[in-house]
Amino acid sequence: QSVLTQPPSVSAAPGQTVTISCSGSSSNIGNNYVFWYQQLPGTAPKLLMYENNKRPSEIPDRFSGSKSGTSATLGITGLQTGDEADYFCASWDNNLSAWVFGGGTKVTVL
């Protein structure tokens, strides 16, 4: 049972837009940054978004992040087959004094 809640899967056709939600509480997302990681099949995760909505330089602007209250959202526009991966959200939890993750969302390009 993950501390942060994500939908198990989302899917869309190439070129379409998907959004992935990440729900937490005041002890984590509500008072700390949210980070997103992309895990392509058979590989290690990679940083996709940091401090809620900042992209590392190599990440295309098709990826966006936002946070509101105790929830966060990752958006992917212009979906490509290369975007098929698992996406994890993460945040620090003040009560647990630990980093916590969502269970991951599998993105499928139809």
Question: How far apart, in Å, are the Cα atoms of 96 and each of 1, 25, 62, 93?
Answer: 15, 12, 33, 5
Query: Which of 32, 52, 71, 73: binder of another protein (CB under 8 A)?
Result: 32
Tokens coding 67 = 């946070």
Query: Cα dihedral sign for 52, 56, 64, 84?
Result: negative
State yes or no: residue 65 binds another protein (CB under 8 A).
no
Of residues 10 through 29, those in contact with another protein by CB under 8 A are: none
State yes or no: residue 103 binds another protein (CB under 8 A).
yes
Residues of the shown chain interacting with another protein in the complex, contacts defined by CB under 8 A: 2, 32, 35, 37, 44-47, 50-51, 56, 88, 90, 92, 94, 96-104
